[in-house]
Amino acid sequence: MGFLKTALTSSVLLAGHAIAADLPSIKMKGSKFFFENGTQFFMKGVAYQQETGAAGETTTNKYIDPLSDEAICERDVPLLAALGTNTIRTYAIDPTADHSACMALLQENGIYVVSDLSEPALSINRDDPKWDTELFARYKSVVDEMSKYSNVIGFFAGNEVTNSKNNTEASAYVKAAVRDTKAYIADNINRWMGVGYAANDDDAIRAHIAQYFNCGEESDSIDFWGYNIYSWCGSESSMSISGYDKQVEFFQNYSVPVFFAEYGCNTGGAESRVWDDTTALYSDEMTDVFSGGIVYMYFQEDNDYGIVSISNDEASTMDNYKALKTKLASVSPSSTAYDSYSPTNSAQACPSIVDTWKASENLPPTPDSELCECMFNSISCGPASDLSTDDYGDIFAYICENDAEGCTGINGNATTGVYGPYVMCNDTQKLGYVLDHYYKSLDQASDACDFEGQAVVNSDVASDSACSDKLASASSAAEVAATATSPSTSNSTGTGSSSSESGNPANNLRMNRLFALGDLAIGAYLLVAMGVGAGMVLL
């Protein structure tokens, strides 16, 4: 689910009365949220963004930033407030837009914000995960924009990125994003804002993924855990039928706040929802462990999960909005005072690598745009300026087959936890790195940097003292990665030959180059077809 499918006196605030000052920031202690005055905070939330696609995909970048249009906010915020909402979740915001008017309206109505950091075409893709300089820049820009507003609780570094046992490696990249975004906030923002993850509820990975994001060093792990859960369906459900009792049991020892990042099963359609799950969520059975939840969703669309319908820019509340309003008005969660609360829960143990969990505790490196630029400016052989990105795949495929050591510097393996120092660079920079490594492996032969005009020699490489330390450190890291991924010496040639001719890497590269350069595209095709080095082919 989600957008890509991604006590204050609330009786006064939620009635729509304006407040003169900023809302007090929410803070975290142990597994609970608190207002600044020490009263426990429970989310009574609504997912507030129009749907555009499925989670984890990068096929479109069309989205409507719900907090950048004052007229829309003036229409919707009063309805959110009248419902009893104190939190909204947004799934993508435009960090270059002006959010001041909408954020002021939310402030005036006592409503906080949790936002995802990604956008549809710039996110961690479960099928080809990366944590790179471009994505980190996006995350930082969202933090910079939203940190202006005291009613921002925090962010999700990912939403259902890993959604089955077949793509658990992607979680290493999301956890690296958590680590780096937390560090950026700590270094640049003068108040706490949390960074968490929103997971789907999948039997095969449910326990492992919750453990993984909460294990290890605190600086690397989530500040809060969100569950997108739709197991309470219909009026005949219950704590046991829905499995809510098992969720309470599992998370009772979790060390950070847990809440429903999405909920609201619609097996009978949106209007069939009577919201008994809301009553359960704020009952004594759950409030010692869960910090509330976020209803999916505000807008009624084709997926039939809405509580408000929009027609000709006019908003009309639906029957299940009214039912939810009644439920929220009747709940009174048991709370804990900040000063009397002494957390005792500790972080989870990291899950082992098994058939259903393939993400290592070792995380990808922090994206460093300066390192990538230093490297690219230092190369003696690089891509031609007019080379189309559509042609990158052929060159990557050829070089990574014939100079595997060079490609260890740009690749990562989330299961072994081995990452090259340039895994975070953009594709042009990565191509420059492997071209240069290949060129130097062939002793800078005159035809080793050509590729039928697709690569060129840079004869005027200038040394930059400011880059020397970074490049030296990266070179050492590349050697470690190459050693960790190299085959055993006895199998290095596959022939058992001990002759100096066949055992010399440069000679082997020359032989392969003479054989295949004239048929570069065909060779790349055959390489992919045979499944050799498929993980290194960037298409």
Rounded Cα–Cα distance for residues 128 and 135 (Å): 14
The neighbour count for residue 506, using CB atoms within 10 Å, is: 13
End-to-end CA distance of the chain: 28
Same domain, 379 and 465: yes
Same domain, 413 and 331: no
Query: Is the pLDDT score of 327 beyond 70?
Result: yes
Q: Is 41 exposed, middle or buried (0-12, 13-18, 19+ CB in 10 A)?
A: buried
Query: Is the pLDDT score of 299 beyond 90?
Result: yes
Same domain, 373 and 336: no
Look at residue 491 in the predicted model and tell me its pLDDT: 35
Same domain, 279 and 413: no
Query: Is the pLDDT score of 497 beyond 90?
Result: no
Q: Which of 438, 464, 483 is the last residue of a domain?
A: 483
Query: Is the pLDDT score of 20 beyond 90?
Result: no
Amino acid found at 120: P
Supply the range of the domain harboring residue 88: 26-340
Same domain, 317 and 378: no
State the Cα torsion 156-134-126-66 to the nearest 10°: 40
Q: Which of 324, 340, 356 is the last residue of a domain?
A: 340
Query: What 3-state DSSP class applies to 259?
Result: strand
Rounded Cα–Cα distance for residues 223 and 149 (Å): 19
Same domain, 333 and 376: no
Query: Is the pLDDT score of 494 beyond 60?
Result: no
Sequence-ordered strand ranges (E) for 300-454: 308-311, 314-317, 381-383, 412-413, 418-419
Q: Let me know if residue 10 belongs to a domain.
A: no
Residues facing residue 290 across a β-bridge: 258
Model confidence over 170-222: pLDDT tens digits? 999 999 999 999 999 999 999 999 999 999 999 999 999 999 999 999 999 99
Q: Let me know if residue 124 belongs to a domain.
A: yes
As given in the structure block, the two tokens for residue 306 are 């809405």
Q: Let me know if residue 502 belongs to a domain.
A: no
Same domain, 326 and 377: no
Same domain, 325 and 376: no
Q: Let me know if residue 518 belongs to a domain.
A: no
Half-sphere exposure of 122 (CA within 13 A, CB side): 23
Amino acid found at 296: Y
Domain containing residue 419: CATH number: 1.20.58.1040
As given in the structure block, the two tokens for residue 315 are 């908003």
Our count of domains for the chain comes to 2
Rounded Cα–Cα distance for residues 140 and 233 (Å): 38
Half-sphere exposure of 416 (CA within 13 A, CB side): 13
Q: Let me know if residue 166 belongs to a domain.
A: yes
Same domain, 332 and 202: yes
Look at residue 461 in the predicted model and tell me its pLDDT: 78
Model confidence over 65-81: pLDDT tens digits? 999 999 999 999 999 99
Confidence band, pLDDT 50/70/90 cuts, at residue 257 = very high
Same domain, 375 and 454: yes
Domain containing residue 197: CATH number: 3.20.20.80
- Picking from 376, 381, 379, 378, the residue whose alpha carbon sits closest to that of residue 456 is 381
Rounded Cα–Cα distance for residues 422 and 435 (Å): 14
Same domain, 323 and 401: no
| Whole-Å CA distances, 3 to 50, 158, 163, 229, 387 | 7, 11, 15, 15, 35
Task: Establish whether the linkage from the previous residue to 424 is cis, with ω within 30° of 0.
Answer: no
Rounded Cα–Cα distance for residues 39 and 154 (Å): 19
Look at residue 490 in the predicted model and tell me its pLDDT: 34
Confidence band, pLDDT 50/70/90 cuts, at residue 469 = very high
Model confidence over 334-370: pLDDT tens digits? 999 999 999 999 999 999 999 999 999 999 999 999 9
Model confidence over 36-61: pLDDT tens digits? 999 999 999 999 998 754 333 444 46
Same domain, 309 and 404: no
Look at residue 466 in the predicted model and tell me its pLDDT: 87
DSSP class of residue 351 equals P
Q: Let me know if residue 114 belongs to a domain.
A: yes
Are residues 8 and 59 in contact, defined by beta-carbon separation less than 8 angstroms? Answer: no
Look at residue 53 in the predicted model and tell me its pLDDT: 44
Confidence band, pLDDT 50/70/90 cuts, at residue 126 = very high
Q: Let me know if residue 415 belongs to a domain.
A: yes
Would the pTM of this model clear 0.75, i.e. be above it?
yes
DSSP class of residue 215 equals B
**What is the residue-averaged pLDDT of the chain?**
87
Query: Is the pLDDT score of 478 beyond 80?
Result: yes
Which is more confident, 492 or 390? 390
Look at residue 52 in the predicted model and tell me its pLDDT: 55
Query: Is the pLDDT score of 25 beyond 90?
Result: yes
Confidence band, pLDDT 50/70/90 cuts, at residue 487 = low
Determine what percent of the chain is predicted with pLDDT higher than 70: 84
Which is more confident, 252 or 406? 252
Which is more confident, 238 or 52? 238
Q: Which of 455, 483, 511 is the last residue of a domain?
A: 483
Length of the chain measured in residues: 539
Q: Let me know if residue 489 belongs to a domain.
A: no
Query: Is the pLDDT score of 155 beyond 80?
Result: yes
As given in the structure block, the two tokens for residue 120 are 């549809």
Which residues are identified as catalytic? Answer: 160, 262
